[in-house]
Structure 1
Amino acid sequence: MEEPALRLADKPMTAPELSNLWATFQSNSMANCILRYFSAKAEDEEIKSTIDFALRIAQQQTDRIKNLFAAEEIAIPIGFTDSDVDVNAPRLLSDMFMLEYIKHMASVGMMTYSSALYISSRADVREIFDDCLISSIQLERRSSQVLLEKGIFVQPPYLSPPQKVDFVKNQTFLNGWLGERRPITGIEITSLFINMITNSIGKALITSFAQVAEMKDVRKYLIRGKHIATKHLSVFGSILTEENTDVAPTWDSHVTDSTAPPFSDKLMLFHTIGLIAFGIANYGTALSSCARRDISSHYERLMQEILLYAEDGMNLMIKRGWMEEPPLTVDRGELIKK
């Protein structure tokens, strides 16, 4: 039986509901621009079909939120528009990278929308996030299937199954920097490999952005991001290599030599900051499940580095007048002064 709260569509939106809808509009209006360009450049029919499927999802989700905000007399965000994309610009990325990118962004959507659905109570808002989550799952499944069929799915390392149950004998299980180190666990391999995949995708995308960015400060920021991703890939890769475990492949060769921008500097900077935010969440999750001190220390140090990088990116967005203000609580201090 449904809870009464789920049937209330006439009550005001809560802070999480309004904020998550606002953020979803921003990210999907950006995705709409990127996917329109991808669709215009894709040559492989299966990949183009997957891109078009993702594009329809982004358009539908943006329209639903726009209509809801209009009905509720809530200011509709600007987000990203036709001025932020040039579908006639030359190819910047390969079809295979576009497909891997879509799988990656679908996984981001699954995590984001499950959290938004969990905290929402209004029936109409829950329905939006429920549909967003289902669409993300469908998109992840579809993109993964095409990757598998084409033999380009990034396969994680294998692990020999345990033949018996055992227990940790002493605290040396936690060692890392000093003393004998144990082999890494399957969970630690998983986190390292996932963070290699995300950094590899991010590095290729930021490299392509740096090639076409028009403003010097934006280009400088993107180049810095490329160096950070390279460094993080080296750290994670060295741990896996030391453990005789496979590392994730890079996507560097899937960036063309084009210098004509298909996207605005505003969009590329916004997207880069979004990738970093997802990376921070990934590092936090990895840190919470890591028992070896040396690996935990790497996550803590690298997380601090990308936190500062994200902050610098937001400062650049503010400097350029590109950062839309998200929904805020009422400033009681200012009201009292009046």
Structure 2
Amino acid sequence: MLDDGQTLPEPFTKKDIVLKNKRYYSTNFVVLLKFSLAQDALNVLGLALSTSIRPEVREFYKTCLTKTADLVDMCLKLKVKLGLHQPLIYLPENQKVDKINKQEFLGNFFGRNRNLTTSEVLQLTNNYRAIEVTREVCRSFSRSMNTELKAHYERGIEMCKDHLESIKSKLDKDELPQLPTWESEIDTEGGAPFSEQVDAIQNSKFNECCCGPLRSLCFFHIP
């Protein structure tokens, strides 16, 4: 129940859709966007489930996890069908066990360079794909007529670009395949597709979900 003086937020309506009767995002990008959000939602929901005490709340999160896992599965099947899972990265199988016995394994932070490990390649590629989707979302919102919002989204685009270049340089050094970008999947002609209010809310929610992959980079040092 609402306390005295509290008001409900004003809901969005069809008036908040600026570019009506126009396909702004391609089917490919919608699949990529849904997969990225669902992938990160699994992490958030898993944390919520493991930290909840009340049985009915845990049951709620279990249901959410099941439905989100189904969505991830559906998106993965669509990605494969549309060829969006390419390129596949194949790493050579080690023929011998290489144990870590010196700090120099961490790379040039302490000493010598080394090739990326499988887990590092996985983290880097996942981060690259999530950041690229984020960049394209910011790029689509940057068509706003509000100069302050436009500058905000353009700054986000540049930040994403810097992250992408950094990850790309790590992968290139190990001669790994280049990962695609998705500029062609968004029609940025004209203005922004939604109202400024929708842009701001959606961008905020999207960043809350997709900041998870970026945090994973903090767990290891990559030379």
Same fold by TM-score greater than 0.5? yes
Q: Does 1:129 align with 2:64?
A: no
Match in the other structure for 1:138: 70
Give distance in 2, aligned partners of 1:236 and 1:281. 16
Question: Which of 52, 56, 59 matches 1:120?
Answer: 52
- What is the identity, as a one-letter code, of the residue corresponding to 1:243? D
SS of the aligned residue for 1:81 comes to: coil
Identity fraction in percent: 21
Name the CA shift for 1:118/1:86 in 2 (closer, same or farther; >3 Å). farther
Counting matched residue pairs gives 219
Q: Does 1:173 align with 2:105?
A: yes
Question: Which of 80, 96, 118 matches 1:164?
Answer: 96
- What is the identity, as a one-letter code, of the residue corresponding to 1:267? V
Runs of 4+ in 1 over 4 A off after TM superposition: 74-77
Q: Does 1:256 align with 2:187?
A: yes
- Deviation at 1:252? 1.1
- Deviation at 1:181? 0.3
Question: Which of 85, 88, 107 matches 1:153?
Answer: 85
Give distance in 1, aligned partners of 2:88 and 2:199. 29
Q: Does 1:99 align with 2:31?
A: yes
Give distance in 1, aligned partners of 2:147 and 2:26. 26
Give distance in 1, aligned partners of 2:45 and 2:115. 35
- Deviation at 1:153? 2.0
Give distance in 2, aligned partners of 1:161 and 1:154. 21
RMSD between superposed Cα atoms in Å: 2.3
Match in the other structure for 1:65: none
- What is the identity, as a one-letter code, of the residue corresponding to 1:165? V
- Deviation at 1:227? 0.9
Give distance in 2, aligned partners of 1:196 and 1:146. 20
Give distance in 1, aligned partners of 2:213 and 2:121. 13
SS of the aligned residue for 1:259 comes to: coil
Match in the other structure for 2:142: 210
Match in the other structure for 1:326: none
Greater relative contact order (Cα < 8 A, sep 6+):
2
Question: Is the contact between residue 26 and residue 185 of structure 2 (CA under 8 Å) also seen in structure 1?
Answer: yes
1:237-276 residue CA offsets vs partner (Å, 9 max, x unmatched): 0111011112321011111133243322122223323343
Name the CA shift for 1:185/1:137 in 2 (closer, same or farther; >3 Å). same
Give distance in 1, aligned partners of 2:156 and 2:72. 26
Runs of 5+ in structure 1 lacking a partner? 1-72, 295-338
Give distance in 2, aligned partners of 1:197 and 1:93. 17
SS of the aligned residue for 1:203 comes to: helix
Match in the other structure for 1:90: 22
Question: Is the contact between residue 49 and residue 61 of structure 2 (CA under 8 Å) also seen in structure 1?
Answer: yes
Match in the other structure for 2:124: 192
Runs of 5+ in structure 2 lacking a partner? none
Rg larger in 1 or in 2? Answer: 1
Match in the other structure for 1:47: none
- What is the identity, as a one-letter code, of the residue corresponding to 2:187? T
- What is the identity, as a one-letter code, of the residue corresponding to 1:273? S
Match in the other structure for 1:246: 177
- Deviation at 1:178? 6.5
1:142-179 residue CA offsets vs partner (Å, 9 max, x unmatched): 11101212222244522112222221242221222564
Matches within 5 A, 1:1-338: 73=1, 78=9, 80-82=11-13, 83-86=15-18, 88-177=20-109, 179-211=111-143, 213-288=144-219, 290-292=220-222, 294=223
- What is the identity, as a one-letter code, of the residue corresponding to 1:257? T
Name the CA shift for 1:242/1:282 in 2 (closer, same or farther; >3 Å). same
1:169-211 residue CA offsets vs partner (Å, 9 max, x unmatched): 4222122256430111111111111111011111111111112
State the TM-score, normalized to the length of structure 2: 0.87
- What is the identity, as a one-letter code, of the residue corresponding to 2:166? V
Question: Is the contact between residue 89 and residue 262 of structure 1 (CA under 8 Å) also seen in structure 2?
Answer: no
Out of 213-222 and 263-272, give the one that drifted further. 263-272
1:206-228 residue CA offsets vs partner (Å, 9 max, x unmatched): 111112x2311111100111111
Give distance in 2, aligned partners of 1:154 and 1:269. 32
1:58-99 residue CA offsets vs partner (Å, 9 max, x unmatched): xxxxxxxxxxxxxxx367963852254357252221111111
- What is the identity, as a one-letter code, of the residue corresponding to 1:203? R
